[in-house]
Amino acid sequence: MTLPLSITTLNGHAILFAPGLPLAFTSFQLQGATPYYAHSDSFGHLIYQQITTERYTAWVSHYIITNPADFRVTANVSDLLMHYTVKGTMYYMLEDKESPTSDHQLNIVIADNLHHVIRFKSPGIYIAVNVHLPIVELEEYTNSFPVVNPFLEKIEHGDAVTLLEQSMVAPERLRNIINDIMERQLPSIASEKYREQKTGELIIESLDMLSRYLTDNNGLNAADHEKGERTEIHLLQHLQASSPPTLKQLAKFAGTNEKKLEDIFRCRHGLTVYDFFQNARMKIIYRKLTETYTPLQDLAEEFGYTDYSSFSYAVKKRFAFSPRELRKKSKLV
């Protein structure tokens, strides 16, 4: 088999694949793919179908398991291997820790000669799509996707990158690409080129998704920052409202929960959502007090204060001077 990996049982017996498929398994054949088959009474049937070998290598794996089984998988390359679970719950053993991966999950990315165990706990049919992306190809995406640099660093140091704990379920667009790759009824002439194109789309969509999950030093990813920025803009549009949006309303607007939104604001600004709002509001009030001649009573009403005394109290609490004193210090009176 020409795939960039080898498979053995836990006691070290190599699982030998032969080209082609037995007649009983031709229903699994992907048009234009190169199939390899292995069988044992101890575990069942393994079908690996190579779907592209041009810029990258990709294959679809069918595990037809008749008895619970463990396989040791060895990557024979120093590049990147991406695994997507299409069907069934499998388990990966990495550094003696077992992690499940199930339907539609981008479950693991491996780098540099990794040895790991894949476990099947019950009989059934399991399917995965796998992509081997050479370093030279990966480097071309450096400027497009922030996640690439961390991957290259980990590959250089021989580290494994596991995404299992993040439960990264593939979005619908990614699932559609995988479904296209799995389509069996393609014309044989067009199928290889079509799957090569779809594999390229799969890589791009995956790197985009991974970049959105990539966290910074504060533990925030791109999607978190996007939610924070949208909420900040929304808040700034309500600075003069008598009743600003509640935390519950803001969390719904951002598409997250209240605790997560508070965490995002603390990481981005070192402030709660309320304090961010108050700071922004007071900055404008300060400018209007010190740079304009707007009557103080009108300013209080403009920013939604029901009476002047509440406005004066809030200003003095923030700046240690009353509105009248601040205006006097600015020499506008």
* CATH number reported for the structural domain that contains residue 293 in this entry: 1.10.10.60
Q: Do 180 and 231 have their domain in common?
A: no
* Same domain as 93, residue 230: no
With 80 as the cut, is the pLDDT of residue 312 above it?
A: yes
Phi, psi torsion values for 119, nearest 5 degrees: -120, 135
Helix (H) and strand (E) counts for the chain? 11, 13
Q: Tell me what pLDDT residue 97 has.
A: 77
Instruction: Give the whole-angstrom CA distance, residue 23 versus residue 20.
Output: 9
Long-range interactions of 191-198: CB distance < 8 A, separation 24+: 191/30, 191/31, 191/32, 191/33, 192/32, 192/33, 192/51, 192/52, 195/30, 195/32, 195/33, 195/51, 195/52, 195/58, 196/51, 196/52, 196/54, 196/55
Residue 247: pLDDT above 90?
yes
Say how far apart CA 15 and CA 9 lie, in whole Å: 7
Domain that includes residue 227, residue range? 222-329
Q: What is the pLDDT of residue 165?
A: 45
Q: For residue 98, is pLDDT > 80?
A: yes
> Which of the two residues, 263 and 32, has the higher pLDDT score?
263
Question: Could you tell me which of 267, 229, 266, 235 has the C-alpha nearest to residue 249?
Answer: 235
| Nearest Cα to Cα of residue 119 among 22, 7, 209 | 7
Separation between Cα atoms, residue 286 and residue 81, nearest integer Å = 56
| Per-residue pLDDT, 89 | 92
Q: How far apart are CA 36 and CA 42, in angstroms?
A: 19
Domain boundary among 213, 234, 265: 213
Residue 83 sits in a domain of what CATH number?
2.60.120.10
Whole-angstrom distance, CA of residue 333 vs CA of residue 325: 10
Distances (CA, A) of 58 to 81, 192, 216, 257, 307: 9, 11, 31, 38, 69
233 and 94 in one domain? no
What's the confidence (pLDDT) of residue 152? Answer: 80
Task: Verify that 92 and 46 share a domain, yes or no.
Answer: yes
Q: Which residue among 213, 242, 260 closes a domain?
A: 213
Is there a single domain that holds both residue 121 and residue 253? no
Lowest mean pLDDT among 9-13, 165-169, 196-200, 201-205: 165-169
- Last residue in a domain, options 213, 246, 265: 213
Domain shared by 263 and 297, yes or no: yes
Q: Are residues 260 and 138 in the same domain?
A: no
Query: For residues 199 and 177, what is the distance between their CA atoms, to the nearest angstrom?
Result: 8
State the average pLDDT for the chain: 85
Tokens 């997507």 belong to 84
Q: At which residue do the structure tokens 């053995």 appear?
A: 8
Residue 250 has pLDDT above 90, yes or no: yes
176 and 305 part of one domain: no
195 and 252 co-located in one domain: no
Instruction: Supply the pTM of this predicted model.
Output: 0.66
Number of domains in the chain: 2
Q: What was the pLDDT predicted at 164? A: 44
Tally of CB atoms within 10 A around 202: 23
Do residue 235 and residue 201 come from a single domain? no
Q: How many CB atoms lie within 10 A of CB 43?
A: 21
Please say if the pLDDT value at position 74 is more than 60.
Answer: yes
**Are residues 209 and 279 both part of a single domain?**
no
Mark whether 254 and 195 lie in a shared domain.
no
- CB neighbours (10 Å) of residue 116? 17
Provide, rounded to the nearest whole percent, the portion of the chain with pLDDT above 90.
37
